[in-house]
Amino acid sequence: MRRIFLTLGDRLVDAGRLGDRRDVFHLTVEELLGAVDGTTVTADLKALVALRAGEDAASIGRADPPERFSTQGEAVDLDAVVASALPAPGEAGEQRVGLACCRGSVTAKVRVVNDPRTEALEPGEILVARHTDPGWIAVFANAAGVIAERGSLLSHSAIVAREMGVPCVVALKGATQWLETGDTVRLDGGDGSVTRIARAAG
């Protein structure tokens, strides 16, 4: 099905209706087939793709809600709640502790990945992500370790790390804001600690 849709994407690009063959993945099956047989709701597929791409980007950039929260009375601005719950830059020094999921320690550079479809790890790097799911499996291939902001002992990040035998720490709040691609850290999957040894150059 993927090959079929990409082929349709090529034809829609040739017809000037899409800018890139992979834009088909921003359309529903019904919208894509409708574009072929002329029954689509809108003829402006590029605008629809731009709208969906913007929604995806906003979703990736949205902060995760706290694990637990309660409200009373007026509506609460969740973004403000999340921001106040995250450590300020530099807070808690150069070491933080999350949930240990797979024993072992490794010292290496990290790479913060937000979108597994467009970003990849270099061999030996430590993966840093908000969370992972089965769509991230190709990113894990080069990982020397895994750090995730969310998760539990039975989360996807933890299970795959144990299968691969690489150190893993999850539930490390604010990890993708605290660490930057190129930082060198010591990850200990036995006690759940992550220590930044050196910041990225530049």
C-alpha torsion 50→54→60→61, nearest 10: 150
Instruction: Mention every residue, 6+ apart, whose C-beta is less than 8 A from residue 155.
Output: 101, 131, 132, 148, 170
Residue with tokens 């036995």: 190
- Every domain of the chain and the residues it spans: 2-61, 91-198
91-198 homologous superfamily: Phosphohistidine domain (3.50.30.10)
Q: Is the pLDDT of residue 82 over 80?
A: no
**pLDDT score for 90:** 39
Structural contact between residues 102 and 162, judged by C-beta atoms closer than 8 angstroms: yes
User: What pLDDT does residue 197 have?
Assistant: 93
User: What per-residue confidence (pLDDT) applies to 1?
Assistant: 85
Residue indicated by tokens 């800018």 = 19
Catalytic, out of 156, 160, 175, 185: 156
Maximum distance among all alpha carbons in the chain? Answer: 60
Share of the chain above pLDDT 70, in %: 89
- At residue 79 the predicted structure's pLDDT band, cuts being 50, 70 and 90, is low
Instruction: Evaluate if residue 85 carries a pLDDT over 80.
Output: no
Judge whether 26 counts as a catalytic residue.
Answer: no
Question: What are the φ/ψ torsions at residue 130 (nearest 5 degrees)?
Answer: -65, -45
Residue 33 confidence class, pLDDT cut points 50, 70, 90: confident
Burial string for 70-100 (b: 16+ CB within 10 Å, else e) reads: eeeeeeeeeeeebeeebeeeeeeeeebebbb
Lowest-pLDDT range, 11-15, 56-60, 112-116, 138-142? 56-60
